[in-house]
Chains A and B, each alone.
Chain A
Amino acid sequence: MSGWVKKQLILFSCLLVAIIGIIAAFNLKADYYDFPIIEARTVVWILAQTMLLFAAFILAVPVFVLIIEIGGYLTKNERMERLAKDFARLLPISYSITAILGGLFTFASFLLFPKYMKFMAGPFKGTFLLFIILITIESTIVYLYWTTWEKLQGNKKLQHIMLGVALNVVGTLVMMTANIWGSFQLSPAGISPDGVVTSIKSAIFNYTFWPLNIHRFIANISFGGFLCAAYAAYKFLSSKTEEDKAHYDWMGYTGTFVGVATMIFLPFAGYYFGMEIYSYNAQMGITFMGGALSKIWLLQAIVIAVVFIGTCYYLWLGLDRIPGGERYKKYLPYLSWGLVITFAVWATPRAWVASLEDVAGGTHPIFGTVGVMAPKITAVNLAILGVIVTFLINRRAGKYIPQGREMFKYMQYILIGLIIAVNIIVLYMSYHVDSAVRIKMSIYTFLFMAVAIGFIYFFDGLLLKGAQIRGQVQWGKMAQRSQYALIIVAVSNIWAMALLGYGRAAARLNWHVYGVLQDTSKYAGLPSMGRATVIISMITLLFLFLLGVVFKLTATDKKEV
């Protein structure tokens, strides 16, 4: 009980700080205040993004833990149970850090940008209150979830799992509440011509509310998986015994699997987001994709390429620990070149324009139409296919394919061929339609791909059903460099999230609330991409540092338990 009070104390003191900031802001006269040395914008930027990363983490970990916990429960797998618990351990402290960041962020943004925050506080008072209630419930469940882990074992395990489900439900609601504000700023709705919110319902369910929910939810799980893998890599690199190495190797693989399996759905969520932005305001969509912000996509392509190629590299090295894996190594160079080419297409900027003012034409002076969106979508779809094939190889490597199952293999080839064909046809058609239609088309292509991939896996199941294995997977027999790949993939993921966080804010250009409340501060413009990347990197390192603190603190916890 005293522990519960103590944990809630941190939360309540953070809420207090936030509320003091809000009240103080309502007594301020000026519209904006600056912060010495590091500018006001940078302060709020760093606090907001670091907080969002932690928020993503505490949303992802419970999903991840729950999946593994259920998996362990159903298959009676001790190792999974151990992994789930190892991660649940991180939750209480991570919540506290998120609360501290959230309190500071609220405090700072209200005091530095009072005009803007007061505007938001007006119509959204109710949602602020809802948010406070939800996070209090959430942090209570976290506390219960963690402290009852040992008590609710055996036939009580189901109760514990229900607690985990409740935690996830409340966690998702918390995220959705916060998304109301973020999506409203981007695509405000329910507003009268003179800028007053007249329908809170339309304001909440604005154009980008659901896209943001879906995009963030998927991204967060993927994020959790990759962070788990990086943590495992870190432990692997510091492991002394073979047994530890085996455990952490397995953990790294599991985390990567969760990360990639969910990441595959992200482009889909991204198109949906893009589509809603286009239907909200075509010019914003164009600014976002091809104007002042086109460099964000260039960088994003590079970062995601690192994530994809790093993951594949890791999986390819992993073939070494699967008896029979060497049979497939000869295909890998083709796959890697395929990936490199697809990302080269993706990274070709839509237009090498320095800013919106320079826009004359829509295409790259050298690469021409390769730089426009359609080939990029095709490229990313094919890259996804490359990752799928890598996973298939990994599944197949350690097994003898039973006689007479060739048919399923051919079915898979046909499906892979179909995916490629559909992508190329859609690519061809894309040059003849408007971007709003094009984005819709990419969604259908992706839906088709999702179904086709589902079938590929279905046939894979039939193909390998009851297949004899060539030998146990040699967990722990993994080259050290594979672990660096995992770390780099995770850091890149953090970086990508911070980059896109910036992108979403930058899309509003000089508006706090797009088209409704103009930013008249001296920070109304956008920094150059170079400056932005410096801050994004700082945020990434700060987040890693704080994550290190969490791991450090929970490591001492472990000895007491």
Chain B
Amino acid sequence: MNSGTLKLIIAALLITGFYTWFGNSIPQTAWEAPKKKTFTPQMKPSELAVEGKDIFKSAGCGVCHSVTGEKLRGPDLSQVSTRMDSGVMAAFLYSGTAVMPPAVKPPANLNDDEVTALVAYLQTLGGKASVKIGDIKPLK
């Protein structure tokens, strides 16, 4: 091996080593694919709301909505249930808007039960959950 080769190898190791070190020095979390939950018609609205809160996080709603009063890309949802009923909420989730992707399409890709849980959670924001599995139906 001539000296040029050795120098090259050392330089390459140093720089890739630096990037690897840097990549490992920042906070680490692996991203897990959201798991599908099972829902039963017996579940109380308040139980659904607990699941809905998880879905709200994992489906990426928080990218655009805060629930703490802050205005992000979308409106703040901390008092959303004072503004609309479960039907309107569901309409938003099923059809989306020009900016907001429908929750039933990727990347959120929720099924009807999950949408129901999400609505139950949204109802708790400024109000009380009242929907049960089966109450929320896809738009025709």
Contact = CB atoms under 8 A, between A and B. Distances in A.
Interface of A: 234-238, 281-284, 286-287, 290-292, 295, 298-299, 302-303, 306, 352, 354-357, 359-362, 434-435, 484, 487-488, 491-492, 495, 509-511, 514-515, 518-519, 524-534, 536-537, 540-541, 544, 548
A298 B25 CA distance: 12
B23 A238 contact: no
B29 A359 contact: no
Contacts of B17: 537
Contacts of A292: 31
B107 A238 contact: no
B23 A532 contact: yes
B22 A491 contact: no
Contacts of B24: 529-530, 533-534
A526 B33 CA distance: 8
A530 B28 CA distance: 7
Contact of A509 (B13, B33, B72): B33
Given A283-B60, A283-B107, A511-B106, A295 B19 contact: no
Interface stretch (B37-45, B62-70, B86-94, B123-131): B62-70
Given A295-B26, A359-B63, A491-B16, A525 B11 contact: no
Given A281-B106, A487-B12, A544-B12, 11 more contacts: A234-B4, A238-B2, A238-B5, A281-B101, A282-B99, A299-B19, A362-B72, A491-B12, A519-B33, A529-B23, A532-B23
B21 to A, nearest CB: 8
8 contacts: A282-B101, A284-B107, A302-B22, A356-B31, A356-B63, A488-B11, A537-B17, A541-B16
Interface of B: 2-5, 7-8, 11-13, 15-17, 19-20, 22-24, 26-34, 57-58, 60, 62-64, 66, 68, 70, 72-73, 99-101, 105-109
B118 to A, nearest CB: 15
B19 A303 contact: yes
A77 to B, nearest CB: 26
A533 B31 CA distance: 15
Contact of A487 (B2, B11, B100, B107): B11
Given A357-B57, A529-B28, A530-B28, A286 B64 contact: yes
A361 B16 contact: no
B99 A434 contact: yes
B4 A525 contact: no
B68 to A, nearest CB: 7
A80 to B, nearest CB: 24
Given A287-B63, A298-B26, A515-B105, A491 B3 contact: no
A328 to B, nearest CB: 27
Contacts of A530: 20, 23-24, 26, 28
A470 to B, nearest CB: 32
Contact of B4 (A238, A495, A511, A544): A238
Nearest to A302: B22
B138 to A, nearest CB: 13
A299 B60 contact: no
A432 to B, nearest CB: 13
A196 to B, nearest CB: 16
A290 B5 contact: no
B63 A360 contact: no
Contacts of A303: 19
A434 B33 contact: no
B12 to A, nearest CB: 5
Nearest to B8: A234
B22 A484 contact: no
B33 to A, nearest CB: 4
